[in-house]
Chain A
């Protein structure tokens, strides 16, 4: 299994509070991704990174920001959590984004915003 961890694994927070989720990898992969997964929807890309300090927005980036100051860490911040951000958040990593290089997923963080 690819060395990828997420913390926390579960979090309950109140509307309006900031929340930061952490993704940590030990594979030295260049690409890192944050997705959210909701019932009835496919995985939806929030933000991704293609190197240290290089990030870009995905399909559902509103209300989220990211930072990558080291190869191994990719942080996702919900600036002011809302109930619509209750979801399961997955981090993924990939060595390359072309050809058959698949994405490896972390175990996920279940976030509940009350």
Chain B
């Protein structure tokens, strides 16, 4: 079967750095996406990785290792507005997105 694993919840302090991990086992791989979802709102796109390595976009970076079936999202200089759920999704061999259950990130002052 297909499976995406992420921690259910993480807590971090304002101004700090946090790393959210995602491991996957899917039928095929055609890219990995990270989305942010604030409570009661729609998911919004953060990043895309298809090749191994790090993609940096401002305070957010995303890393991929295809051989290990592993990705992480790194958030720097955390702000209170970063409190949200972070969703990892893999595009499989049928080009469908398989979603993890999401990681709820709680930021404390």
Residues of chain A touching chain B, judged by Cβ–Cβ distance below 8 Å, are 40-45, 48, 58, 90, 97-100, 102-108
Task: Judge whether B45 and A42 touch: CB under 8 Å.
Answer: no
30 contacts between A and B (CB under 8 A): A40-B101, A42-B4, A42-B87, A42-B98, A42-B99, A42-B100, A42-B101, A42-B102, A43-B87, A43-B89, A43-B99, A44-B99, A48-B96, A97-B91, A97-B96, A98-B30, A99-B50, A100-B48, A100-B50, A102-B33, A102-B45, A102-B48, A103-B45, A104-B45, A105-B43, A105-B44, A107-B41, A107-B42, A108-B41, A108-B42
Q: Within the complex, what minimum Cβ distance (angstroms) separates B94 from chain A? A: 9
* Chain A residue at minimal CB-CB distance from B43: A105
List A contacts of B102 (CB < 8 A): 42
List B contacts of A43 (CB < 8 A): 43, 87, 89, 97, 99
Q: Mark B1-25, 1 if CB is under 8 A from A, else 0.
A: 0001000000000000000000000
* Chain A residue at minimal CB-CB distance from B2: A59
Q: Mark B36-80, 1 if CB is under 8 A from A, else 0.
A: 000001111100101000000000000000000000000000000
Task: Judge whether A99 and B41 touch: CB under 8 Å.
Answer: no
Q: Give 5 nearest A-B pairs by CB, closest first.
A: A42-B99, A105-B42, A102-B45, A43-B99, A97-B95
Q: Is the interface of A mostly helix, strand, loop or mixed?
A: loop
List A contacts of B41 (CB < 8 A): 107-108
Task: Judge whether B31 and A99 touch: CB under 8 Å.
Answer: yes
Which residue of the partner chain, among A40, A41, A99, A103, contacts B97 with CB atoms under 8 Å?
A: A103
